[in-house]
Structure 1
Amino acid sequence: MGNRRWIILCIAVVSQIASVGALFGVPFVLPALREEFGLSIAQAGTLAGLPALGLLTTLFGWGVVIDRYGERFTMAVSLALTAGCLALLGTADGVFGAGAVLVCVGASGGPVNAAGGRLVMSWFEVRRRGLAMGIRQTAQPLGIGGSAALMPLVAERWGFVAAMTLPAVLAVGMVPLVLVFARPPRTADSAPDGGAEAGSSPTHRDSLAETTARSPYRHAVIWRVHGASMLLGVPQFSVMTYALVYLVSEHGWSAPSAGAAVAVTQACGAMSRMVLGVVSDRMGNRLRPVRVLALLSAAALLLLSLSPALVPEASVPLLLACLVLAVSHNGLTFTAVAETAGMAWSGRAMAAQNSLQALSNTLTPVLMGVVITWLGIDAIYAAAALFCAAAAAVVPAGARARGVCRHSR
């Protein structure tokens, strides 16, 4: 299993990068989108949230498909459909046609995250799962960073539609690799827990081995993890959606320069997910670091909202710091949800996690559009800080969710 598991992990990461580019690439071409359709910042931000709306409408159904037909089938179908929908952008008629296609992109691209995460978790035992899932969850900031670095350049030269073909090309390239390699571990290759290495101690067996069909949603812990993730999705999507346009409109940066800066922060965010994965392995707790991150993010966002009036030169550094903090928690919460749910429910639980985050991502541009219209762009950071504070209160950092860190007992 040693080498095969790392191949599986690489395929899961790159597949998710393609999906992330499709789902979350629109914010990085907002200037081109506004120019093409004559939109305000608030209107363009709402359009950027439409893939999340499509994601929301289909994710739980995709979770059932994952549990029934497996990760390989689901990932391959999703990547192929995503590429096909992106290809339709060139034929869309006006802003409403483009919006409809973006909804379809979200509906098609959602299950790659849950399916890839479930596949990786089945190949890694619990004592290494924080690291593995931390690496796996670097796909989101890396996908966002790659989109921020490349898509503004393409959009500036060839337009919005051309920029959105980049994730389509990557998705098409990943389909054959998924079909060949993305298989769950054979029984003979794995220990009885379904995820640990052969010969590992029974003390390393974890809740993913449990095949009980009893719903984990009878208990409050998993709902609190979902709730914290949903609340943290508001600042994450707020900062990401408006970062490039904030640097361009408020600080006079060019779109490619702003995109490059955002890309650097996403690379740092990817590193933070790996580091926090290792920390959670050693602490024996996935959720306590999430509370710390939520409090730090709240403080940084509040300072950012006040900086134009108090210390204007601090605005850009604070924005970049908030971009890193905003993406750091996902690997921890995603792993905690799957471990709490157990293998029989993991596909549906991870899909539910993504669905709630998609709901957050869908509503965030609408909410923040109202805030920008009435109070200005700086006010969205103060509003986002409130959601971070609420998440810190909701996350069950002191609770030991079923399956989380059982190896530490």
Structure 2
Amino acid sequence: MLVRNRWMILSVSMVAQVASVSAMFGVPVVLPQLREAFGVTTAQAGILAGLPSFGLLLTLLMWGVVIDRAGERVTMALSLLLTAGALGLLWTASELWSVAAVMLLVGAVGGPVNAASGRLVLTWFEQSERGLAMGIRQSALPLGVGLAALVLPRAADAWGFVGSMLLPGALALVAFPLVLAMASAPEKGSSRERAAKPEEAAPAPATPTSRPESPYRRWTIWRVHGVSMLLGVPQVTLMVYTVIYLVQEQGWSPPAAGAVVAAAQVPGAAGRLLLGAWSDRTGNRMRPVRWLAVVSGITLVLLTLLPNAWGWSAVPLVLLCLVLTMWHNGLTFLSVAEIAGTAWAGRALAVQNWLQAVSTTLTPVLMAAVITLAGLPAVFAVGAVFSALAAAVVPVRAKGLGSGQEGGATGQ
């Protein structure tokens, strides 16, 4: 029996994304067990933890073409099956090079779930509902990270590194039949009409009679990509350096500092829902992103300066910055999908994820140089500069950036 209710389909896509996220980004929370299992140094373990992201960079653009050609359901199901199989290969890994190969493979096969599930929002939801729907779907990222941080370290203590990483594989296998049970994306008709007639089978995706125009011939989509990359710098900076900042500069213990990062995940996820709903009411996806960039930049400047005079301000400002820098992802992701339209959404969302991965990879390198030259608190000031640049780049002139499933877009 196929699942045709759009909210159930959204729920299934979230389960699939949590499985993918925990597989790709679960390694950092079990680095001690990884070191013990394979006798590697901390630096080597850190490199292994980053290999899934590198694998993602290698294959994500190709997966975007597969999504547009084969559809979301087939692509997500294939990715989940391959992810579970790749993690299962850890049982055979006995040398450092073999573990590295498996981690690279996990990233290479696990990337398309995020882009494909984003395309589902475009095809199943009305434009007036997409902001909330995408916010819900995007909350799977912090929830997946939080779940991994909560479950995997304990599992690794009990079963070792390999045993713990089989849990994301098991979740991927659970999500696999659920994804296959989803109905194909409807060709036409509103989402409310589909919900009102659940007994009718959803038609197969439309075959375009003419080749749709590439959205990359317009500057708007490039500007949204640029905003995402720019805002990714303060986001990654906070995620990477918050714990060491609280320990080194504020005298906190590592567990207490880690609890601050964990505490930020829930409001971080909730904010994506609230901003998505706001964009549905106003009809503008990117104007809230501009305000968010401005407020985040100001808060980052305060975090750079105020703790020198008032030490008590560090923790609330760090927590606020952590939360604010998480909120933009849902709106920028949805804007790219709406500008591209269904014919190009898979490729466009793959490009979006790929560029964000580039930003994620390069930010620690940049900030390492900043710390060497100016000290740790200076990374927040640099993050504020990138927030200001993002505010200047945001395209907000049009009331609605996309025209939904028809794939047109206007606005500068």
Q: Give the TM-score normalised by the residue count of structure 1.
A: 0.85
**8 Å contact kept, 1:209–1:343:** no
**8 Å contact kept, 1:137–1:330:** yes
Query: Percent of aligned positions with the same letter in both sequences?
Result: 55
Query: 2:388 maps to which residue?
Result: 389
User: Structure 2: which 5+ residue stretches go unaligned?
Assistant: 197-204
Q: CA deviation at 1:65?
A: 0.4
Q: CA deviation at 1:342?
A: 1.1
- Letter of the aligned partner of 1:127 in structure 2? S
**Matches of 2:80 and 2:294, distance apart in 1:** 36
Q: Aligned-pair RMSD on alpha carbons? A: 3.2
Query: 1:62 maps to which residue?
Result: 63
Question: For residues 309-328 of structure 1, what are the structure 2 equivalents within 5 Å?
Answer: 309-328=308-327
Is 2:78 aligned against 1:39?
A: no
Query: 2:202 maps to which residue?
Result: none
Provide the secondary structure at the position in 2 that maps to 1:347.
Answer: helix
Taking a change above 3 Å as real, the CA distance of residues 180 and 47 of structure 1, as seen in their structure-2 partners, is same
**Matches of 1:37 and 1:315, distance apart in 2:** 35
Question: For residues 141-156 of structure 1, what are the structure 2 equivalents within 5 Å?
Answer: 141-155=142-156
Is 2:356 aligned against 1:346?
A: no
Query: 1:79 maps to which residue?
Result: 80
**Runs of 4+ that moved beyond 6 A:** none
**Matches of 2:397 and 2:235, distance apart in 1:** 24
Is 2:256 aligned against 1:253?
A: no
Provide the secondary structure at the position in 1 that maps to 2:253.
Answer: coil
Of stretches 258-267 and 17-26 in structure 1, the one that deviates more from structure 2 is 258-267
Q: CA deviation at 1:38?
A: 2.5
Residue deviations 1:61-115, cap 9 Å, x none?
1011011111111101111222222333455456555444322222111100111
**8 Å contact kept, 2:293–2:391:** yes
Taking a change above 3 Å as real, the CA distance of residues 110 and 388 of structure 1, as seen in their structure-2 partners, is same
User: Structure 1: which 5+ residue stretches go unaligned?
Assistant: 201-207
Query: 1:203 maps to which residue?
Result: none
Residue deviations 1:311-332, cap 9 Å, x none?
3332222222222112111110
Higher normalized contact order (CA 8 Å, seq sep 6+, divided by chain length)? 1
Query: 2:367 maps to which residue?
Result: 368
Provide the secondary structure at the position in 2 that maps to 1:327.
Answer: coil
Taking a change above 3 Å as real, the CA distance of residues 237 and 93 of structure 1, as seen in their structure-2 partners, is farther
Provide the secondary structure at the position in 1 that maps to 2:312.
Answer: helix
**Matches of 2:302 and 2:19, distance apart in 1:** 34
**Matches of 1:160 and 1:379, distance apart in 2:** 35
Query: 1:286 maps to which residue?
Result: 285
**8 Å contact kept, 2:19–2:168:** yes
Is 2:200 aligned against 1:197?
A: no
- Letter of the aligned partner of 2:233 in structure 1? V
How many residues are aligned here? 393
**8 Å contact kept, 1:124–1:197:** no
Of stretches 14-23 and 43-52 in structure 1, the one that deviates more from structure 2 is 43-52
Taking a change above 3 Å as real, the CA distance of residues 116 and 364 of structure 1, as seen in their structure-2 partners, is same
**Matches of 1:344 and 1:402, distance apart in 2:** 16
Query: 1:380 maps to which residue?
Result: 379
- Letter of the aligned partner of 2:193 in structure 1? E
**8 Å contact kept, 2:20–2:168:** yes
Taking a change above 3 Å as real, the CA distance of residues 313 and 357 of structure 1, as seen in their structure-2 partners, is same
**8 Å contact kept, 2:136–2:273:** yes
Q: CA deviation at 1:362?
A: 1.9
**Matches of 2:35 and 2:234, distance apart in 1:** 23
Query: 2:200 maps to which residue?
Result: none
Taking a change above 3 Å as real, the CA distance of residues 100 and 238 of structure 1, as seen in their structure-2 partners, is farther
- Letter of the aligned partner of 2:145 in structure 1? I
**Matches of 1:249 and 1:386, distance apart in 2:** 24
Query: 1:109 maps to which residue?
Result: 110
Q: CA deviation at 1:263?
A: 2.9
**8 Å contact kept, 1:155–1:162:** yes
**Matches of 1:96 and 1:311, distance apart in 2:** 48
Q: Give the TM-score normalised by the residue count of structure 2.
A: 0.84
Taking a change above 3 Å as real, the CA distance of residues 252 and 68 of structure 1, as seen in their structure-2 partners, is same
**8 Å contact kept, 1:27–1:240:** no
- Letter of the aligned partner of 1:49 in structure 2? G
